[in-house]
Amino acid sequence: MVTIAFHDLAESTASNKGMPTLRVCYTPHPVWGKTPAQMYAYLEGDDPVSHKPLMPEVINALTKPLSEADRKTGSFTPSVGPATFSGTANHLQKYYMNNGMTDFMTFVIPTQERVDAMLKATSHHADEMVGELTPARGLYPTWKFTVRHVAISTVMAGCDPSYFPTVLAIASSGLPSLSSSTNSFATAAIINGPIRDKLNMNYGIGAMGPFSDVNASIGRAWTMVSKNCGNCGQAGQTYLGTQGNVVSFNNLIIVENEKDSPWAPFHVQKGFKATDNVVSVFFGYGIAQGQGGLGSAVKPVPAFDEGLVSNFAPMTSIFGALGVLDPLVAKALVDRGYKTKEQLTDWLQKNTTLTVKDAKSTLFTGGMSLRGPQAANLKPDDLIPHWPRPEMINMVVVGGETNPYYQVANMSYLRSVSIDKWT
């Protein structure tokens, strides 16, 4: 039983799972934000597809013996299309866009010559399997893809061949940049290691803005790979974000400013050597600009700490938090006693709190801390942390030290992947 908004998805998923005649009942859409009375009205009303009373239809679907038609099996295998396409440059631009293969901006046509040049940037064979992608596990088929498939999308994004191992690492993480959720989620990748300077990546002034071909095209390649190697981002089919997310064009490519940071680099925190080249992927709601700063008018502890907490407090606990701090902020925090990132995240986890009453009345906020046997003894006015573990809060240092500002993303760390493996 699903809402009418997912009619096409329900049919295609049932078919892909080998049950093309699966019995499905539908309710009106949406269900979010509805009162109990409105929800009961849905149940007491008609199925908007069959126009039959919904609950009798549900009971009938669960109890009526299966007919021969109901027992029909089968699945849908999408065509991969021809190996090559031909036509004028303008024709190919329109063909790729009209068939959902791009981010709808002008792209580099992946000629055989360009793809071959890209493939030379890795020691891995063109037909080697890189990984699997899907818009949502369990709902959509998983697509497997090769080094060659990634190379094609990397060319389309305008990447130089030297960027290819980094794109391969992101692709191998298994995280698509576009998921099917109605929430319009966003993704981020933190890049660490000597490759930052080897590729002349931007981790200083304007690091997360449109000021670096390397950062921008690698982020764009993530979207291209997701669409062409995972069937992600097909609006109304495999992408249902109600408003979409502008971050999805290039995603959040965050290159840590290890040179000016007073703390250990992010990948070292995750067990890698400082000389390793690593990409770490995050997933969540996205990032908000201009959330806080440390200016001359800001008082020392505890005033600044309280300001930091106020920007983490609105986050929802369904995801973690990622602080993106200019080096000036990180150095000021060291002066205030936070000698490591871990000391700062421990303090934030303990001090970013809300009452049990507020946690229960606000969707997703504080919910993680309400789980487990200890929750039974909590009183409405007891304070609980937004996040049950300090590890759910992460910090990265980025920026050019022109102003002591920081931003906070409501995003969870998923995994780190070696870039060196794909060279």
Write down the mean pLDDT value for the chain: 89
Give dist(CA 279, CA 187) in Å, integer.
13
Locate the domains of the chain by residue range: 2-63, 89-352+387-422
The pLDDT value recorded for residue 77 is 61
> pLDDT grade, residue 129 (50/70/90)?
very high
Q: Nearest CA to 234 among 97, 130, 137?
A: 97
Residue 296 has pLDDT above 60, yes or no: no
Averaged pLDDT for residues 53-62: 96
The pLDDT value recorded for residue 366 is 58
SS3 423: coil
**Residue 203: both structure tokens together:** 């981790």
Q: Is 217 exposed, middle or buried (0-12, 13-18, 19+ CB in 10 A)?
A: buried
Residue 350 amino acid letter: K
> pLDDT grade, residue 367 (50/70/90)?
low
Q: Is 19 exposed, middle or buried (0-12, 13-18, 19+ CB in 10 A)?
A: middle
Predicted TM-score of the model (pTM): 0.86
Q: Could you please report the per-residue DSSP string of 87-127?
A: S-HHHHHHHHHHTT-S-SS------HHHHHHHHTTSSS-TT
341 contacts 269 by C-beta, under 8 angstroms: yes
Give dist(CA 339, CA 344) in Å, integer.
8
Number of H helices, E strands in the chain: 14, 12
Residue 298 has pLDDT above 50, yes or no: no
Alpha-carbon 416 to chain mean position: 14
